[in-house]
Amino acid sequence: MSDDKTTHFGYEQVNVEEKAGRVRAVFDSVANKYDLMNDLMSFGVHRLWKRHTIEISGVRRGQRVLDLAAGTGDLSARFSGLVGPDGQVVFTDINAAMLEQGRERMLDEGRVGNLQYAQVDAQYLPFPDNYFDCVTIAFGLRNVTDKQKALDAIFRVVRPGGRMLVLEFSKPTIKPLEKIYDFYSFSLLPKIGKLVTNDEDSYRYLAESIRMHPDQETLKGMMEHSGFERCDYFNETGGVVAIHRGYKL
């Protein structure tokens, strides 16, 4: 973030106060086709990335989980089953349209009892200190205005012995893949977005926001700066996506 209180919205510089609203408008636009676009954009592989995130989360029966930027609830649904009736999953999103899509999906699937819903900005978490066993944020951190502030907030609400996981687009580790990925992101992805959601600009922003997101080692350093220890990450699909994990000891 620069000294004159601007930040990036994709490749565009905007006032800090504007970014959350701009991001909200993007997801208002795509909310009702979000799941379909995830399948199309990733050729279905996003399900494998999320499955791996669940597998390394260590979430067990009776635990408390906070799912930030939960979208339509892929992670929350799995966590709800893992923690059981004695556990708690807090399903959150900054965007009301996305939150409503997710809530309707959970109700349709009969997931009630251990799920709670809240419209939450990851930078300002309205939860007690040292409360959650696990906090996850999947494909949401890159949209946060101040990522370090969000990581600090997450650290505060994780209990000692707990952990956080960030599933996010990252930097390809294979050079030939990087060129293919760039062509796909900037030439094909906006066109798919236009065909499916009639919104080319939102998917152009998506491609740009991925390029502006910290790479694997930088994000690991930011997590350590917040206080997380034993931080590591797992590259998925040649580094197109990475799962970062850190513990509060």
Round to whole Å and give the CA distance between 73 and 112.
13
For residue 40, give Cα distances in angstroms to 67, 190, 194, 227. 23, 12, 13, 37
What domains, with CATH codes, occur in the chain? 6-173+204-247 (3.40.50.150)
Residues in the annotated binding site: 72, 93, 121-122
Query: How many alpha carbons fall within 13 Å on the CB side of residue 223?
Result: 27
Round to whole Å and give the CA distance between 182 and 219.
21
Round to whole Å and give the CA distance between 32 and 157.
31
Specify the DSSP class assigned to residue 137: E
Q: What is the DSSP string of 170-195?
A: ---SSHHHHHHHHHIIIIIHHHHHHH
The angle, 0 to 180 degrees and rounded to 10, between the axes of the packed helices 16-30 and 96-108 is 40
- Please check the confidence at residue 194 and state whether its pLDDT lies above 60: yes
**Phi and psi (nearest 5°) for 60?**
-130, 170
Question: Of 171, 193, 179, nearest to 38 (Cα)?
Answer: 193
Residues in the annotated binding site for S-adenosyl-L-methionine: 72, 93, 121-122
The H-or-E segment that residue 93 falls in is strand 88-93
**Phi and psi (nearest 5°) for 134?**
-150, 135
Burial (CB count <10 Å: 0-12, 13-18, 19+), residue 216: middle
Contact 101, 34 (CB under 8 A): yes
What residues contact 14, with CB distance under 8 A and at least 6 apart?
6, 7, 8, 22
Tens digit of each residue's pLDDT (9 = 90 or more) over 38-83: 888 888 999 999 999 999 999 999 999 999 999 999 999 999 999 9
In this prediction the pTM is: 0.89
Tens digit of each residue's pLDDT (9 = 90 or more) over 150-191: 999 999 999 999 999 999 999 999 989 999 999 989 999 889
Residue 193's pLDDT band (boundaries 50, 70, 90)? confident
Amino acid identity at 125: L
